[in-house]
């Protein structure tokens, strides 16, 4: 079980990211949340038995609680995208995550998307694992077309013109 769990966690610039891309990973993450809650409670009880103060206990379990909170946020994000609720896209940052979310929201598997794109499932899995980092606009458009998704973007603000 732990091996499955770790395959959708990655670290970038010292920040941990948890990425749920399939219903199987979602189920594993929900189970992990339940296990973590029990673990945190057991840790706190054991530390109390050892005579640690509330402040000391808090410092010891804080990293576990922080990571647990990240897991909860990722589960909540997955549940939102399953309903088709997406965060705003700013300057194309997060476009890969939007594409993954769109696939999940409309209920298309990685295998189905691969077939629609004419690529291997392994390629789609790799691209999603990397959140489509460095993809071209053309590739993004092919994915949008394969998903039959229309993405609308607008210019929110322009810098003032520089004097000539």
18 pLDDT band (50/70/90 cuts)? low
Q: Which of 30, 38, 125, 128 is nearest to 79 (CA)?
A: 30
Question: Quick check: 2 pLDDT over 70?
Answer: no
Q: Which of the two residues, 84 and 8, has the higher pLDDT score?
A: 84
Q: Give the gyration radius of the chain's Cα atoms.
A: 20
Q: For residue 11, list its beta bridge partners.
A: 16
Poorest-pLDDT segment among 9-13, 61-65, 153-157: 9-13
Same domain, 77 and 33: yes
Q: Tell me whether residue 12 is in a domain.
A: no
Please check whether residues 31 and 71 belong to one and the same domain.
yes
Inter-CA distances, 58 with 16, 65, 122, Å: 21, 9, 42
Two tokens, residue 124 = 């789609």
User: Which pLDDT value is given to residue 3?
Assistant: 29
Residue 127 in tokens: 């691209």
Residue 53's pLDDT is 92
Domain count, the chain: 2
Residue 14 lies in a domain: no
Would you state the structure tokens that stand for residue 20, as one six-digit string?
């749920």
Alpha carbons 92 and 32: distance in angstroms, whole number? 32
pLDDT on residue 125: 92
Residues 68 and 103 in one domain: no
Query: Do residues 78 and 99 both lie within one domain?
Result: no
CB atoms near residue 160 (< 10 Å): 5
14 or 151, which is more confident: 151
Residue numbers of the domain that contains 72: 21-82
pLDDT tens digit sequence for 110-147: 999 999 999 999 999 999 988 899 999 999 999 999 99
**Domain check: are 28 and 59 in the same one?**
yes
Domain membership of residue 153 (yes or no) is no
């Amino acid at each position: 079980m732990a091996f499955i769990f770790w395959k959708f966690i990655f670290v970038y610039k010292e920040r941990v990211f948890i990425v749920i891309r399939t219903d199987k990973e979602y189920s594993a993450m929900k189970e992990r949340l339940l296990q973590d809650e029990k673990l945190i409670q057991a840790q706190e009880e054991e530390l109390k038995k050892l005579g640690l103060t509330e402040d000391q206990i808090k410092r010891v379990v804080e990293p576990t609680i922080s990571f647990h909170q990240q897991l909860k946020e990722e589960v909540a994000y997955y549940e939102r995208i399953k309903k088709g609720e997406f965060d705003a896209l700013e300057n194309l940052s997060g476009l890969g995550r939007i594409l993954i979310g769109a696939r999940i929201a409309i209920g298309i598997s990685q295998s189905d998307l691969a077939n629609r794109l004419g690529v291997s499932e392994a390629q789609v899995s790799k691209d999603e694992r990397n959140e489509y980092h460095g993809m071209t606009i053309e590739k993004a458009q092919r994915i949008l077309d394969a998903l039959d998704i229309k993405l609308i973007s607008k210019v929110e603000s322009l810098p003032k013109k520089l004097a000539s």
